[in-house]
Amino acid sequence: MNIELDAVVGRISYRCDILFRVIDIREESGRKTAILYGEDYRLIADAPFEDLQKIDPKQKDQISEEFRSLEEQSLELFRQDIELIKNKQEYMSTNAYRDDYNYFQIPGRVLHLDGDPNYLQKCLDLYEKIGVPVKGVHCKEVDMPNKIGELIDQYRPNIIVITGHDAYSRTKGKKQDINAYRHSKYFVQTVNEARKKVPHLDQLVIFAGACQSHFESLIHAGANFASSPLRVNIHALDPVYIVAKLSFTPFTDSVNVWNVIRNTLTGDKGLGGIETRGVLRTGMPYRINDDDE
């Protein structure tokens, strides 16, 4: 079968339920195996060539269009949430609209570490649409623990996203065994290193994990939000919706976990967390001074 790098494929044994990109091809004893990254889910897998089916462009476009529609629905719901937050903040900042104050807002800065450069770009595009200040860094999952400290020092973020690809393998152990996961232990190590820098959960908000990640270990390590409580796949853009909600919620307000995850594409089966304060700060006055003539 003629399957090359970057080809879009499905796994026949799974009825091609998820689209994957071929990111590596390995051969051992004359048998070819492909390493796969999910096109829309943060899942990593491997499969023998004989289990792969190449997806034609028309079929890919049809499936992609369905995902884009879901993404737009989530984005619209998120925008409604942000509009409500902004209206409430304007009401509070202007003494119930009685005072004519010009105020400005500083949303939380996000540092987004991603093991997949394609997903990183998709996330950065969504951050830009929403208006979240972000620095995106492509970094292999195994390298994240060694790099997070210097990145925190360099960018001084309010929120960190630690994500990429992951997968649970039944053949490697039980679900409670972190060694049965592809990248969960690296995500946990990265959270631990970040917490050495900033221990307080409300001074640095952390989202960590990918598809099927070891949720409990990530939360115990110090993540505010993580995946995946029921070890299901999460959508590539889910971390953006979570941290953007936090970025636009005032630091005086706590964010209810359900209110954060209810408009994500995956929901509470794949995402969870603990009650956390927002990071938005409001200031005044906001004035633009003309140059003296």
Question: Domain range holding 22?
Answer: 8-55
pLDDT per residue rounded down to tens, the chain (293 residues):
678 888 889 899 888 888 898 989 988 887 889 999 888 888 888 889 999 998 888 878 777 777 677 777 777 877 777 777 777 766 665 555 555 667 788 999 999 999 999 899 989 999 998 889 999 999 999 999 999 999 999 999 999 999 999 999 999 999 999 999 999 999 999 999 999 999 999 999 999 999 999 999 999 999 999 999 999 999 888 899 899 889 999 998 998 899 888 878 888 999 999 999 999 998 877 665 555 44
- Structural domain contains residue 275: yes
If asked whether residues 39 and 166 sit together in one domain, one would say no
If asked whether residues 15 and 93 sit together in one domain, one would say no
- Structural domain contains residue 63: no
If asked whether residues 119 and 160 sit together in one domain, one would say yes
Q: What is the CATH number of the domain that holds 91?
A: 3.40.50.2300
pTM: 0.85
- Structural domain contains residue 3: no
If asked whether residues 36 and 167 sit together in one domain, one would say no
If asked whether residues 20 and 77 sit together in one domain, one would say no
The tokens describing 230, both together, are 């029921």
Long-range contacts of 9-17 (CB under 8 A, 24+ apart): 9/34, 9/36, 9/52, 9/53, 9/54, 9/55, 10/52, 10/53, 10/55, 11/36, 11/45, 11/47, 11/51, 11/52, 11/53, 12/51, 12/52, 12/53, 13/47, 13/51, 16/53, 16/55
**Number of structural domains the chain divides into:** 2
